[in-house]
Amino acid sequence: MAERPGVLWVNDRVVFSGAEHTVVALSGNAVRLLSVAEETTVVALPYLLSADDFEVVGTGGRIKVAPQGLLEALPEHVTETTRLWERHLVEIETGLPPDAPEGTVPKPEYDPIARSLTERERAKAAELSAATLFLLPYAAAMAPGGAPITV
């Protein structure tokens, strides 16, 4: 039996159930496969990996983007906004903001061990909504020619 991969990626080519397939989507432990005959199959990852004939026969290549390269071409205010959003997304994904000191424990609402991704996304949405409602009157009052608004 071939050695099992540590990671399965979209665009990997695999043999499963006697045919070659391309991994076209991963969601939770579900894997969507597209056969060379253009037929799709959705299979549980543990089932796929434990199949007797399962084998990774090729990779479709990984898209690699230099983390700084593309942002350097953008205006500074766009880059700053992008970095702010990146911070929020990293916190949702990992439980901690990217600059968290070593040993920091995630907030309970962002703990990936205790909360699903959906729960963490909802917590972040609630946090950002509350911050927006709090800051909106101040932002409007400070806008050039803008009048304060009440919420």
- Per-domain residue ranges for the chain? 13-58, 71-142
- Would the pLDDT of 100 be above 90? no
Could you tell me which residues come within 8 angstroms of residue 110 by beta carbon, excluding any fewer than 6 positions away? 91, 92, 95, 96, 120, 123, 124
- Would the pLDDT of 151 be above 50? no
pLDDT of residue 1: 44
- Would the pLDDT of 106 be above 60? yes
DSSP class of 54 = -
Could you tell me which residues come within 8 angstroms of residue 73 by beta carbon, excluding any fewer than 6 positions away? none
- Would the pLDDT of 65 be above 60? no
Contact 43, 30 (CB under 8 A): yes
- Would the pLDDT of 11 be above 80? yes
pLDDT tens digits for 113-136?
A: 888 989 999 999 999 888 766 666
Single-letter amino acid, residue 119? E
pLDDT tens digits for 25-44?
A: 888 888 999 998 889 999 99
- On the 0-12 / 13-18 / 19+ scale of CB atoms within 10 A, 20 is middle
Contact 22, 33 (CB under 8 A): yes
CA quadruple 39, 46, 106, 109: dihedral sign: positive
User: Mean pLDDT across the chain, nearest whole number?
Assistant: 80
Highest mean pLDDT among 8-12, 14-18, 58-62, 125-129: 14-18
Q: pTM here?
A: 0.45
| CA nearest neighbour of 131 among 88, 95, 101 | 88
- Please, which residues bridge with residue 30 across strands? 27, 44
> pLDDT band at residue 86, thresholds of 50, 70 and 90?
confident
- Would the pLDDT of 60 be above 80? no
pLDDT of residue 149: 46
Q: Does 79 or 127 have the greater pLDDT score?
A: 127
| CA nearest neighbour of 18 among 36, 31, 42, 44 | 36
